A and B are shown apart, each in its own frame.
Chain A
Amino acid sequence: MNIELILFIVLALVASVSSLMMITRRGAVISAVFLVLNFFALAGLYLLLNAQFIAVVQVIVYAGAIMVLFLFVLMLLRTDNEPKILMDRRPIKLFALLITVFVFIQIAYLIFVGTPSENLSPDQLKSINSGTIQTIGQELYTNYIIPFEVAGFLLLAATIGAMVLAKKKFE
């Protein structure tokens, strides 16, 4: 039982419990706060995987920017709490459970049975180097420069689109 495994178990527990709490709490703001907690646990897991850059971006972009946007919209619209989530007995609840279990079994099958488990010994140093800003920046600005530019254009389009959509009164 080394420290990495303990850290993984703690972070994985936080991530899964907070995701479950997020879909079962009635208040939308409570759900959003649990999602932020989930994002922080994910950032910890990224650090455990030697992905420093992604961990920092996860906290800044997801937990910072995106969730603040969500919370702003929640407070602007001030929607009512959903009266009941798990208590009412509509068939969609059963359907949701079925689909969820089915998809999970599919993925678990792919992970454990579908792939041949050759024991590839992971190169620790290589893994650590692959997560540094230097490596990622080098790839991003050489081999992936066109996708990078396209991503910038996409963000510009999204900004303009969001302003137009939110401003205009449809009549």
Chain B
Amino acid sequence: MSSIPIEYFLILSAFMFVVGVAGVLIRRNAIVVFMCIELMLNSANLSLVAFSSYLGNPIGQIFVFFVMTVAAAEAAVGLAIIIAVFRNKLTVNIDEINIFKW
């Protein structure tokens, strides 16, 4: 572990984060947008675990635990919202769900 510089993990985490950002911007399926948000959460988790491991401090991993809890809650509520929207609009394309558009 000490042979790998922590920058490698951070760069991988940064790369996955920007891939998630790009996915949120270019995908139109609301469920896939949600999955890209999960990807971003995971990249943040990776850097938290990397720091925790390199510092020998378990608090970063406890934070990851809480992030996972929030991600699970977010996925449940978010998917329920998507189902409710699908019932009303019969689509999950975020270009067509534009009732708040000014």
B-contacting residues of A (Cβ < 8 Å)? Answer: 2, 4-5, 8, 12, 15-16, 19-20, 22-23, 28, 31-32, 35, 38-39, 42, 45-46, 48-51, 53-54, 57-58, 61-62, 65-66, 69-70, 73-74, 76-77, 79, 82, 85-86, 92-93, 95-97, 99-101, 103-104, 107-108, 111-112, 120-127, 129-131, 135-136, 139-140, 144, 147, 151, 154-155, 157-159, 161-166, 168-170
Q: Name the residue of chain A whose CB is nearest to the CB of B50.
A: A49
Q: Does residue B70 face the partner (Cβ distance < 8 Å to A)?
A: yes
Q: Does residue B99 face the partner (Cβ distance < 8 Å to A)?
A: no
**Once the chains bind, are A50 and B35 in contact (CB under 8 Å)?**
no
**Once the chains bind, are A158 and B77 in contact (CB under 8 Å)?**
yes
**Once the chains bind, are A50 and B27 in contact (CB under 8 Å)?**
no
**Once the chains bind, are A136 and B65 in contact (CB under 8 Å)?**
yes
A-contacting residues of B (Cβ < 8 Å)? Answer: 1-4, 7-12, 14-23, 25-29, 31-32, 34-36, 38-39, 42, 45-46, 49-50, 52-59, 61-62, 64-66, 68-77, 79-84, 86-88, 91-93
Number of A-B residue pairs having CB atoms within 8 Å of each other in the complex: 240
**Once the chains bind, are B65 and A140 in contact (CB under 8 Å)?**
yes
State in angstroms the CA–CA spacing of A121 and B5 once bound together: 11
**Once the chains bind, are B29 and A95 in contact (CB under 8 Å)?**
no
State in angstroms the CA–CA spacing of A130 and B52 once bound together: 8
Contact partners of B26 in chain A: CB under 8 A: 23, 85-86, 92-93, 96
**Once the chains bind, are B32 and A107 in contact (CB under 8 Å)?**
no
Contact partners of B61 in chain A: CB under 8 A: 51, 53-54, 130-131, 136
**Once the chains bind, are A159 and B56 in contact (CB under 8 Å)?**
no
**Once the chains bind, are A103 and B83 in contact (CB under 8 Å)?**
no
- For B53, give its contact among A50, A65, A108 (CB under 8 Å): A50
State in angstroms the CA–CA spacing of A163 and B82 once bound together: 13
State in angstroms the CA–CA spacing of A127 and B4 once bound together: 14
- For A15, give its contact among B12, B18, B36, B93 (CB under 8 Å): B12
Query: Which 8 residue pairs of A and B lie closest in terms of their CB atoms, listed nearest first?
Result: A126-B56, A158-B73, A23-B23, A96-B25, A165-B80, A107-B14, A49-B53, A162-B80
**Which of A79, A121, A126 is packed against the most chain B CB atoms within 10 Å?**
A79
10 sampled A-B residue pairs with Cβ under 8 A: A79-B92, A99-B22, A100-B19, A101-B18, A103-B21, A125-B56, A130-B55, A130-B56, A131-B58, A165-B84
**Once the chains bind, are B14 and A108 in contact (CB under 8 Å)?**
yes
